[in-house]
Amino acid sequence: MFSIRLNSLGINFVFILIMVDSVAPTSLPSLNATCEIKRMKNRLNNRLAHTRRSFSTVTFAICILFTVQAHAQYSGRGDDAPWRATAAQKIDQNRKADLQITVQDVDGNKIENAAVSIKMKKHAFKFGSAVDPRYLLESQSQYNAGYAAKVPEIFNAATLENHLKWRAWDGAWGNSFNQSVTLAGLDWLGDREMDVRGHAMMWPRYQSVPDSVRTILDISNPSQQNLQDLYDLSFNHIADIGAAVKGKVFSWDMLNEPRTSFDIEDKLVGFTPQGQSAITSRTDIRKRWFDAAQVVDDNASMFLNDFGIVAGGDNLQSTIRNNYRAVLTDLTAANTPIDGLGFQSHFNETNRLPTSPTKIWELLDEFAADYDLPVHITEFDYNTTNKDLQADYTRDFMTAVFAHESVEAFILWGFWEGKINHAEAALFDIDFNPNLNGEEYLDLVFNQWWTEENGLSNFDGEFGTRGFLGDYEITVDYQGRSYRQNISLGSDGKNIIVSVPEPSSMAILSLIALPLLWRTRRSTPLRS
């Protein structure tokens, strides 16, 4: 079996040679022998799902798949693209550090040939997805055991897709969206040591606010009291939700989509709140919101989140990015306490085409140079029927952002076909089997970017590696006993000492002398 892919032309050829002559089934190699073979099998099965035939009466058959997707390309897709070597260097520099274990006895003597195991337990980098707490909690009718098992298995971070939005928090979306379920979902994730992003504290567009806010926005000529009520509603919400989830989220999309969502701001510009100065601009009220959020929860990072910043191909519209930069520039000039930038990163086959890895680096470099703020990829998905392209781009986009030093998190906007906005974008099918893009995700996060090493300590008692940043379990086996330590590997590296009991010379002599002493005592006559 072999395949040829001419990706640069947007053409895929797959040649499959199937031998069905008198070969005994037991002589065939296992398709599950290696991860790579399994992935190849799955890819081929997906491609041939609708074209399988029976070849029971022939010696062999050759199947050829030919597809043209000229529009569905991006620069750097080829396996030999130069950017891949650069990415590997960046990943080693930005996502790995030296880890050394020294094994010694209680007297400080170094121990050679102790068995050392280094096992990664959790990435420092945030890999997550939007989730629905109703599917996680057994008390809810939507509970799904497969969903609840898969979330902590493959992610270390999460975003509540809808439950922390203002309208949902207010109860305007019905009984299934209520604060008790939301808080229980956050606790469920926290109990599994998952880091949670809050989405979104303020999304000030008409469609996303509760009815009490809409009522005021509907007034063409609001009174001063109307505007005071609107002002108070916004700040009361920040105080309410911020306090309720404090300690349960590590970051917030404090302001969501400011380029296109400003219905509340425009109502309040020119208004003077009681006891405060007049609101002079959109920037002014936005800064006040950020200030209030920081007061409520000074441990959570507050992000400015928006769409269309990196999605759209290498010729993506600069207007979107420039408008976002204008908002950001005005806010930073006003000393707004912005802690990070959120890039949604939704891709599709029409207006949000794949952007090349090198272009993504260029954009990230621009924002890093001008604002020096961490970046979260907050809502990644790629809605397309071209599964090969989808898988390749998921791999390459993840690689590009993982390699860049400013990016701290990669969050999918859903992962399972049974609970996602666009089923075509899912990483896992309805039975929780990985699709092609899911296979790429798993291979990167738990294979290529995962550290597990085993070996023996050298003459100096040392065993080390260069590992990905994160949490580890270190095990040393020596003289039939195991010694374990849990550590965190940061960018500065880690040197740890594992002390194991080693009999001293006096202890050895004592062990030798004990049987002799026992024998002497047994041979001494008892005194009457």
Inside any domain, residue 408: yes
Q: What is the mean pLDDT of residues 343-368?
A: 94
Inside any domain, residue 91: no
Residues 331, 367 within the same domain: yes
Inside any domain, residue 135: yes
Inside any domain, residue 78: no
Residues 51, 152 within the same domain: no
Inside any domain, residue 418: yes
Residues 495, 477 within the same domain: yes
Confidence (pLDDT) at 525:
40
Inside any domain, residue 81: no
Confidence (pLDDT) at 43:
54
Predicted TM-score (pTM) of the model is: 0.84
Question: Residue 233's domain is classified under what CATH number?
Answer: 3.20.20.80
d(CA 494, CA 498): 13
Inside any domain, residue 214: yes
Residues 108, 147 within the same domain: no
Question: Residue 523's domain is classified under what CATH number?
Answer: 2.60.40.10
- Find the range with the poorest average confidence among 66-70, 331-335, 403-407: 66-70
pLDDT band at 330 (very low <50, low <70, confident <90, very high): very high
Confidence (pLDDT) at 371:
97
Q: What is the pLDDT of residues 302-325, one digit of tens each?
A: 999 999 999 988 877 688 899 999
Confidence (pLDDT) at 455:
98
Out of 448, 483, 506, a domain closes at: 448
Q: Say whether 105 sits in a helix, a strand or coil.
A: coil
Inside any domain, residue 108: yes
* Number of independent structural domains in the chain: 3
pLDDT band at 72 (very low <50, low <70, confident <90, very high): low
Residues of the chain by 3-state class (helix, strand, coil), percent to 5? 35, 25, 35
Q: What is the mean pLDDT of residues 472-490?
A: 97
* Dihedral sign of CA atoms 294, 296, 298, 300 in order: negative
Residues 109, 168 within the same domain: no
Out of 68, 84, 104, a domain closes at: 68
State the residue for tokens 């599709």: 348
Q: What is the pLDDT of residues 376-424, one digit of tens each?
A: 999 999 999 999 999 999 999 999 999 999 999 999 999 999 999 999 9
- Report DSSP letters for 21-75, one per residue: SS--GGGSPPTTSSHHHHHHHHHHHHHTTTT----TTSSEEEEEEEEE-TTS--T
Q: Length of the chain, please? A: 528
- How many CB atoms within 10 Å of residue 408? 17
Q: Which domain holds residue 10?
A: 2-68
Strands 60-68 and 11-19: antiparallel
Give, as one character, the DSSP assignment of residue 424: G
- How many CB atoms within 10 Å of residue 65? 14
Q: What is the pLDDT of residues 154-176, one digit of tens each?
A: 999 999 999 999 999 999 888 78
